[in-house]
Amino acid sequence: MEQRGLGRLRLPGLLALLAALAALAAWSPRVSASRNLSLWPLPVTVRTTPRLLYLSPGNFFFGHSPTSKTGPSCAVLQEAFRRYYAYIFGTYKWHRGYNKIPSEMELQKLEVSVIMDPECDSFPSITSDESYNLLVQGPVATLTANRVWGVLRGLETFSQLIYQDSYGAFTANESNIVDSPRFPHRGILIDTSRHFLPVKTILKTLDAMAFNKFNVLHWHIVDDQSFPYQSITFPELSNKGSYSLSHVYTPNDVRTVIEYARFRGIRVLPEFDSPGHTASWGKGQKDILTPCYHASEPSGTFGPINPILNSTYSFLSKLFKEISTVFPDEFIHLGGDEVDFNCWESNPAVLNFMMNKGFDRNFKKLQSFYMQMVLDMISAMKKRSIIWQEVYDDEGKLIPGTVVQVWKMDNFYNELGNITAAGFPVIISAPWYLDTIHYGQDWRQYYSVEPLNFAGTPEQKQLVIGGEACIWGEYVDATNLTPRLWPRASAVGERLWSHQDVTDLEDAYRRLIRHRCRMVRRGIAAQPLFTGYCEHEGRM
């Protein structure tokens, strides 16, 4: 059970052993479930029996197994127990002991057992173990995992197993599920620069991500249009660069997002895209952008970050130092995409600098020079960098281990082959630009993408650490984010979590309809897949 792309062995733990013994199934997923089952994303193995168990809201508990390394002091789990109780039973008042369920048919408790150091107080990381084993039987079901992260994923699956029968009784089939993700990096990219997203919208998105077992919020926090990130070191960046003073993320907002995400096993990956896409940076930081020239005179407009000044790098070093502290994740996304060279070309000082450096007229070398400086900074801070594919394409000397994110749709499989052949880990976004909308069921095309469908050695395939569904913000804000993202992103969620062989569109359609209604019931305004209705859509 090698951890993808990171060249490290995941601790096998007891769970792997258990799973190997317990799962009678071969590697391919098995579902022997009733039509009421609507698991999304589909676990690795699902065994169910026709035997039904009933739950009574007044007589059901989550708890820690006596042998578990966790207990009531593990806040991540205590919070999760409360959350999933509400997801399963709703927020109605239930009378204790009102239901009379024969005890042999009653499911009274889900007992959680964490086998290794639970990591209750840690942040999730790319190497976090999310595998779990769920045994649903009366009277006590057991959920076993190496770490809390697996428990979180297993609780979601457990909640999806329970449905209300036609008399309203909470029901689950006796079942055994062994599960772990196919890719360790499963992200949603949000863009808070083109449009500001209120914190509550981001938190709602994190809820929906957890329902779909996503584990990375890629926060494209600033861009040309606005700089909503309130920096402690450089407060003028957002004072001047945000849309307004009510369109900023204060340090407290950022902490709220990170903590809310942590409780759902979700990493927050900050992106501070440069040297392009930085127009808003110039408003609050003097001399950071390249002055453009027209006919030997400064034209009054500005281009990408000015790569020839020492002040630029000392500014960036302080800014990224702050970012590396504020965001606990091991990775920082540095952007590096779509740099427009026109302004650099117009600027005599830039041209002079390039002559001195021997770059000739090759502006890609200037960009590489810049990126190298920033990449080195990040390394020195003991963080790792993620960059958009242009940085790799321009053949800068990338530090080994730098992750390349592929976003261009044209020939993206070729690009994956090239990048992995060069030995770099890669994240796929190209086929999953969800801001590009179409009439009809476009989720099917997202679903049908096979990330590893490129020519390459098994080692190369291992370098694909995952993918991201991107909902860029040009035409998206809090008014339409949720219905535009869900359930279309759910298709990507299953592609990144479930086994490669899970490709049956009709089966996916049946499950996704129910999964979408489940999201609606939990307060996520996921849009419909096609004609029909949800039982509990009144809340929308």
Give catalytic residue positions: 338
- Decide: is 166 part of the binding site for a copy of itself (CB under 8 A): no
Binding status of residue 531 toward a copy of itself by CB under 8 A = yes
Residue among 330 and 442 whose Cβ is closer to a copy of itself: 442
Binding mask 173-212 for a copy of itself (x = CB under 8 A): --------------------xxxx-x--x-----------
Q: Is 225 in the site for a copy of itself (CB under 8 A)?
A: yes
Closest to a copy of itself by CB, 409 or 437: 437
Could you say whether residue 484 binds a copy of itself (CB under 8 A)?
yes
Residue 165 in the binding site for a copy of itself (CB under 8 A): no
Is 347:293 a contact under the CB 8 Å cutoff? yes
Tokens of residue 200, six digits: 């509550």
Q: How far is the CB of 190 from a copy of itself (least distance, A)?
A: 14
Residue 361 CB, shortest distance to a copy of itself, in Å, is 33
How many CB atoms sit inside 10 A of residue 458's CB? Answer: 7
**Two tokens, residue 67:** 């042998």
* Other Cβ atoms closer than 10 A to 403: 24
| CB of residue 470 to a copy of itself, shortest distance in Å | 13
Q: How far apart are the C-alpha atoms of 262 and 256, rounded to whole Å?
A: 10
410 is a site residue for a copy of itself (CB under 8 A): no
Residue 168 sits in the site that holds a copy of itself (CB under 8 A): no
Q: How far apart are CA 354 and CA 358, in angstroms?
A: 6
Cβ pair 194, 225 in contact under 8 A: yes
Query: Is residue 483 a contact point for a copy of itself (CB under 8 A)?
Result: yes
Q: Is 276 in the site for a copy of itself (CB under 8 A)?
A: no
Whole-number Cα distances in Å, 162 to 33, 155, 379, 392, 538: 12, 11, 46, 47, 20
Alpha-helical segments (H) within 327-430: 342-346, 348-357, 363-380, 389-393, 412-421
Dist CA 117 CA 537 (whole Å): 41
Give Dmax (Cα) for the chain. Answer: 88
State yes or no: residue 532 binds a copy of itself (CB under 8 A).
yes
Which residues, including other chains, have CB under 8 Å from residue 317's CB and lie 6 or more apart?
A: 377
Q: Applying CB under 8 A, does 252 fall inside the site for a copy of itself?
A: no
475 binds a copy of itself (CB under 8 A): yes
Closest to a copy of itself by CB, 259 or 537? 537
CB of 196 to a copy of itself, least distance (A): 6
Which residues are at the interface with a copy of itself (CB under 8 A)? 193-196, 198, 201, 225-226, 243-244, 246-247, 435-440, 473-480, 482-484, 520, 525-533, 535, 537-538, 540
